[in-house]
A and B are shown apart, each in its own frame.
Chain A
Amino acid sequence: MAEWLIEPWGDVEGDVPTVPPEIDALAVHVMNQYDMTVSSMQLITTKPDKGGAIWRIDTNHGPRSLKVLHRTPARSLFSVGAQEYLVGQGARVPALVRTKQGDLSFVAGGKMWIVTDWIDELTPATKIDLEGAQALCYGLGEFHRISRGYLPPEGADWASRLHNYPRSYQKVIDKMEWFRHIAELYIDRPASPRILSMIDKYQQQARDTLAALEASPYYELAARGETYWGLAHQDYGWSNGQLGPGGLWVIDLDGVSYDLPIRDLRKLITGTMHDMGTWDITWMKGMIEAYHQANPIEPEMMQVFLIDMMLPNEFYKNVKEMVYQPELFLNAETDAMVERIDRTDASKWPALQELGALDLKTYENKPMYQLNIDTLRENVNKSRWDTQPYAPSAKAPLSGSSRPSIGSGANMTEQRDSSLSWDASSRMEKDTSSTRSNRSSRKVSATKPTITHEKAATRTEKASTRTSSSSRKKRRREDRTAYASSTASQPKPTLQRTKLAPTSSTSSSKKVAKKRSASAGSSRSRTSVRVKTSNAESKPTIIHGKGRI
């Protein structure tokens, strides 16, 4: 029988999630690969435009989740390997259930499927006050720190965005041109004039940001390699980071990739500022500080982080949809949205300046901001910020004594008990009381391996990473070697390959909240273009080929 291949089956999920009957049939086939009896299953959410779905299944081992990952199996294998690695390192991420064959996943219909335990106790952190955001940031820092050292199993893609910052910035610059052309052609639509009037400014911001990145320590940081930095979640927020047993749980790991850790933090902060409609310095400092407590941000990284915030991320993210249906998109609602973005942007620069990263100068009556690394270094090292450093009231087992200390160490709360419970002062939503009692009854930490967090030797090889997309394969080899050598003296090997040790069962979780998937723009290598000659007035000179035939 020719295998039925899963393809996208629609654009958006309807009121009730549905999948084609063939996928239901595949789901049954997949469940049969597991040592479990399923009494009922319920489709929770789908990605019809990509071909992904999640079910809650009730089994003789309790509730579990079944998930078909929409990416290619080789790409999904990278993420599944990462998830298993993280569980093994003691991270609060859902543990995978193995098939009867002992595998972590099963491929059917051309896609990878996984089963994890299901827990109901997850609660979103509060979004209305800083405490919630800080909980999210602290948990994110833990996640990043623990993910260091991961190596994907054989046969998996090498999913890395570590070296693509310049390219993705360039893409933003280039695509501003697309937006300009579209707005010009659709000038009769309500949002077009305003967008057109904004493009110069935001394109210039993007150019300045790229120039700042080129002059920053970015290349030195990236050259430390993938396993040094570990993974970024790439879609982290209030639904994929939730409070649960033992602390903050990170779920939906299908899109994880190697990256500078600050990518997630940057998205979280700029997205939050966008939602708030103003760049609130107290929130920014609070969020950064909370993250910093869990995963220290060295000054050079802080610089790159602030540069990444300089990019017109929110303008770009919110107008890029215009390419799909410009006629509809460029409506009055969009006009109001971009007007709001522009207003929000006005508070962004003073905020970045106050973070100490920028010096304000004026040039031709326009404010100009320049990065000031010295101020920045001072700020980070002395933790001069006027907010209280964030400290969760109790410490997760995984943030053990091996946690790297940072400049503001005096302010850190050190507690040795291994069960993390959030302090009552950490305001949580009211309905979490049941969660808490539940949580306290679980012995999450007891069954978890302790973490050996090794701070890999700082390798600042400038290497050939400036050729970004280029020597990826080579880098990968180097990276493996580099990491192996940096951990050679460690008592416990952290390299995990295909055969990962089964982990103790920890409770796992499930996402219910739906959100737009932040599918990253495909990386397209930039065309090398010869410098155009300037004589625009001249008649076209059609030069005939001199080619030898």
Chain B
Amino acid sequence: MRVLIICTEKLPMPPVRGGAIQTYIYGILPQLAAQHDITVLGSADPSLPEEETQNGVHYVRKQGGKLETYRDGVAEYLREHGSEFDLIQIYNRPRLVATVKEHAPQARITLSMHNDMFHAAKIDPEEGAQAVRDVERIITISDYIGQSIVELFPEAASKVRTIYSGVDLDRYQVDSRAQKERERLRNEYGIGNKKVILFVGRLSKKKGADILVRAMTPLAKKHPDAALVLVGSRWFSDDEISDYVAYVRAIANRSPIPVITTGYVPNNEVHKWFWAGDLFVCPSQWQEPLARVHYEAMAAELPILTTARGGNPEVIRDNGAVVDQPEDPDYFAQCISSLLSDRSRLKQMGRAGRQMAESHFSWDRVAREVLDVWE
């Protein structure tokens, strides 16, 4: 088939500037391209040409930024090329469905949903209902996302299917090289023998970094040898730091347990920090679709403590635990404490996570399921 993949207006493809959706698409592209003739339409970037072919995938880039601008670019491309495609898969932008339908009426349309873009705040409910009618299938990255769409549009029920995301199993594989890297990082940051609690993500209230940092004070009573590492978050920088980051920094500076921030870590380096940790904690406070970091922790054999928020608990079985009252730092500390107290259980959870990742969360599996939807 000739397939067009339409990305969002936000970040370019390939994921030279990161992005969960971009990482997802890039992870499955080789397998998709092996079976079909794939064109990827995405947003422009100064470092990338307007059009090119890479590894058998054709890339077309239109000005991004605002959806309205991007949509005009999509329409312009489709006016000329829309009739060439058998299937068009739109990523996370139900607001592009009408444009696609108009300019490529012959194509089958599928939608891949990664967060709450069907919410009334993001799309006019009438337009949303029309988009549901116009698409053949709606792939979602978690049951939670699927359910929240069906709650808004009950008629979507028969079209929704969860396809969990994946992870690069090779990159995160724990081997002798990983062990060396673990030691190097732990020595470099002066946390050699400590129990390292790992947080990876933006410092934001939604992500709950403040709760986690505050949990360190009660945790210190039982685990004075713990350390908290916040990866990917900017502490000191030339840019204006937000008041929230300043707040987290202020409380971290008085933490009895060392709190370390690594600053920005590029996508292709972040796996090393997963190797360096002992317990991965996702303290998210919001109804999160299902954060990618869970798969990464699993692939790196890291036990997970996540929160009963959104889709996050869906990928927790023997590989970790779920905090049901994540807004309470004392309670959070008790949960962390009980896990840290049982080293052998931590190891077991880590191994179970790797097994789950291997059997369920490879990019091959994701690609197979997407191909299955296309057939």
Do A and B form a real pair? yes
Q: Is the CB of B120 within 8 A of A543?
A: no
With A186-B254, A524-B205, A524-B244 known as contacts, the answer to whether A547 contacts B327 (CB < 8 A) is: no
Interface membership of A545, Cβ < 8 A: yes
Minimum C-beta distance from A224 to chain B (A):
21
Minimum C-beta distance from B43 to chain A (A):
16
Minimum C-beta distance from B301 to chain A (A):
17
Q: Is the CB of B240 within 8 A of A7?
A: no
Interface residue stretch chosen among B105-113, B267-275, B315-323: B315-323
With A529-B327, A542-B338, A545-B314 known as contacts, the answer to whether A326 contacts B250 (CB < 8 A) is: yes
Q: Is the CB of B121 within 8 A of A469?
A: yes
Q: Is the CB of A544 within 8 A of B316?
A: yes
The A/B interface has a contact count, at CB < 8 Å, of 111
Residues of chain B within 8 A (CB-CB) of A546 are 313
State which of A181, A324, A547 has its C-beta within 8 Å of the C-beta of B317: A547
Interface residue stretch chosen among B25-33, B171-179, B224-232, B328-336: B328-336
Q: Is the CB of B254 within 8 A of A185?
A: yes
Residues of chain B within 8 A (CB-CB) of A186 are 250, 254
Minimum C-beta distance from B284 to chain A (A):
9
Interface size class of B (residues with CB under 8 A): 35 or more
With A323-B250, A467-B120 known as contacts, the answer to whether A547 contacts B315 (CB < 8 A) is: yes
Complex Cα distance, B117 from A10, in Å, reads: 38
Q: Is the CB of B121 within 8 A of A527?
A: no
Residues of chain B within 8 A (CB-CB) of A541 are 324
Q: Is the CB of A540 within 8 A of B331?
A: yes
Complex Cα distance, B325 from A49, in Å, reads: 39
Complex Cα distance, B323 from A529, in Å, reads: 13
Q: Is the CB of A547 within 8 A of B314?
A: yes
Interface size class of A (residues with CB under 8 A): 35 or more
Q: Is the CB of B313 within 8 A of A545?
A: yes
Complex Cα distance, B287 from A7, in Å, reads: 34
Q: Is the CB of B205 within 8 A of A527?
A: yes
Residues of chain A within 8 A (CB-CB) of B124 are 471, 474
Interface membership of A548, Cβ < 8 A: yes
Q: Is the CB of B360 within 8 A of A549?
A: yes
Q: Is the CB of B239 within 8 A of A324?
A: no
A contact residues vs B (CB 8 Å cutoff): 7-8, 49-50, 175, 178, 181-182, 185-186, 320, 322-324, 326-327, 464, 467, 469-472, 474, 521-522, 524, 527-530, 532-533, 536, 539-549
B contact residues vs A (CB 8 Å cutoff): 119-121, 124, 143, 164, 204-206, 210, 214, 238-240, 242-244, 246-247, 250-251, 253-254, 285-287, 308, 313-318, 320-325, 327-328, 330-331, 334-335, 338-339, 356, 360
New contact pairs (10) apart from A542-B323, A544-B316, A549-B317, CB-CB < 8 Å: A181-B214, A470-B119, A530-B308, A536-B328, A542-B335, A545-B314, A545-B315, A545-B322, A547-B315, A548-B143
Instruction: List 9 A-B pairs, minimum CB-CB distance, nearest first.
Output: A545-B316, A470-B121, A547-B314, A185-B254, A540-B334, A323-B246, A545-B313, A542-B321, A323-B247
